[in-house]
Amino acid sequence: MIIVMKPNAAQESIQSVVSYIENSGLNTHLSQGEEVTIIGIVGDKARLPAENLISFKDVDRIVPVTETYKLANKKFHPEPSTIQVGNTFIGPGSTAIMAGPCAVESEEQLMCIAKAVKKSGASILRGGAYKPRTSPYSFQGLEEEGLRYMQKAAKETGLASICEVVCREAIDAAVKYVDMIQIGARNMQNFILLKEAGRSGLPVLLKRGLCATIDEWLNAAEYIIAEGNPNVVLCERGIRTFETATRNTLDLSAVPVLKGKTHLPVIVDPSHSTGSYKYVAPMAKAAIACGADGLMIEVHNNPACALSDGPQSLTFEKFDRLTQELKPFCSLVGRSF
Ligand code: PEP
Ligand code: MN
């Protein structure tokens, strides 16, 4: 539940509510807006005689929060969050473009892609060093060597950087080299990994699981935040349906649905969701039009020879055209880019 304080409630009033809740063995989460303060309660509410709270000074009302996710819930934190990633931000008013190869293949390949995506307006370099491939015989990634190339390419171009992690060892390595970690679709409900990500100290991009409902996805985010890491960004990347014309089915309605349920930023990945370079640009524009805070797009210097996800990767030329074409969409929804 949340306790909504009266507009301009006194600090002592807020503190006495917080103390009452914490003395009952529960945790509080404070959201201080311009005028109104909201005190969120996390824990077993059976331990709290909440009726007593209504008589506390400056308490306006008590609102039950029926969802199992609390810290990710918009009711706890009505203002949209802005998440810092290296030297850039993801949140309202701006457009975060993460771009780069599916997999880091070599130092030269990554450097050349990083320079191209930076020139076209990307703010974050993506590149997989630990690849969760469907087949064990497919390229599995360069691991720590790939992370070193990510660090070098990000430093040289001034881009922030993101890399997927698949296990504790990968997180321990990633914190040394990149600005943000990614939990991929296949690990969205790997709860041990989510907790490790929550303790990593780095912002986390949480992709939607292949068959995950929005509530399951928000509960996965809650696992990360509950470890003390509020810096979570959600990424819609398509879900499994009966349709086979695209690799997955991009659920763009997830964007406005999430905006009504959570304060966390939401980005869209038109590459993994469609599986074809042909559909990346139209879905990227649609994602910005429906309220996404950014995009994740796979770009390759030579898609035909890519070690993974070549068919959905954009060439430098196509990526540049897309970023140009995105600008009017961004300004229409009040975002800089
Ligand atoms: C990726 O971004 O490299 C990736 C594997 O994506 P997903 O987890 O969405 O399949
Ligand atoms: Mn990929």
* Ligand 1 atom nearest 102 alpha carbon: 3
Domains defined along the chain, listed by start: 2-63 (3.30.70.1140), 83-332 (3.20.20.70)
pLDDT-derived band of residue 205, with 50, 70 and 90 as boundaries? very high
- Give the closest ligand to the alpha carbon of residue 299: 2
DSSP of 258-307, one letter per residue? HHHHBSS-EEE-HHHHH-SHHHHHHHHHHHHHTT-SEEEEEB-S-GGG-S
212 touches 239 (CB < 8 A): yes
93 touches 334 (CB < 8 A): yes
Question: Whose Cα sits closest to atom 4 in ligand 1?
Answer: 184
pTM (whole model) above 0.95: yes
* Ligand 1 atom nearest 187 alpha carbon: 8
| From 104, 189, 207, 211, mutation site for ligand 1 pocket: most ligand atoms within 8 A of C-beta | 207
Question: Whose Cα sits closest to atom 5 in ligand 1?
Answer: 184
Query: pLDDT tens digits for 209-258?
Result: 999 999 999 999 999 999 999 999 999 999 999 999 999 999 999 999 99
- DSSP code, position 178: -
In 3D space, the residue among 96, 21, 108, 12 whose CA is nearest the CA of residue 57 turns out to be 12
Q: Where are the beta strands (DSSP E) in the chain?
A: 2-5, 27-32, 37-42, 59-63, 83-85, 88-90, 96-100, 124-126, 160-164, 180-183, 204-207, 232-236, 266-268, 294-298
What pLDDT, on a 0 to 100 scale, did the predictor assign at position 45?
A: 79
d(CA 10, CA 18): 13
Tell me how far the alpha carbon of residue 268 lies from the centroid of ligand 2, in angstroms.
14
pLDDT-derived band of residue 147, with 50, 70 and 90 as boundaries? very high
Tell me how far the alpha carbon of residue 259 lies from the centroid of ligand 1, in angstroms.
22
d(CA 278, CA 311): 9
- Give the closest ligand to the alpha carbon of residue 275: 2
What pLDDT, on a 0 to 100 scale, did the predictor assign at position 63?
A: 93
List, chain by chain if needed, residues with CB within 6 Å of any ligand 1 atom: 102, 128, 164, 184-186, 207, 237, 269, 272
89 touches 123 (CB < 8 A): no
Q: Which two tokens stand for residue 71?
A: 């810290």
Query: pLDDT tens digits for 248-296?
Result: 999 999 999 999 999 999 999 999 999 999 999 999 999 999 999 999 9
For residue 126, the cross-strand partners are 162
Cα dihedral 209, 214, 218, 223, rounded to 10, equals -40
Query: pLDDT tens digits for 103-143?
Result: 999 999 999 999 999 999 999 999 999 999 999 999 999 99
d(CA 71, CA 97): 26
* Ligand 1 atom nearest 238 alpha carbon: 9
Tell me how far the alpha carbon of residue 187 lies from the centroid of ligand 2, in angstroms.
15
What pLDDT, on a 0 to 100 scale, did the predictor assign at position 34?
A: 83
Tell me how far the alpha carbon of residue 310 lies from the centroid of ligand 1, in angstroms.
13
Strand 96-100 relative to strand 124-126: parallel, antiparallel, unpaired? Answer: parallel
Tell me how far the alpha carbon of residue 157 lies from the centroid of ligand 1, in angstroms.
23
Tell me how far the alpha carbon of residue 33 lies from the centroid of ligand 2, in angstroms.
39
Tell me how far the alpha carbon of residue 13 lies from the centroid of ligand 1, in angstroms.
47
| From 272, 296, 307, mutation site for ligand 1 pocket: most ligand atoms within 8 A of C-beta | 272
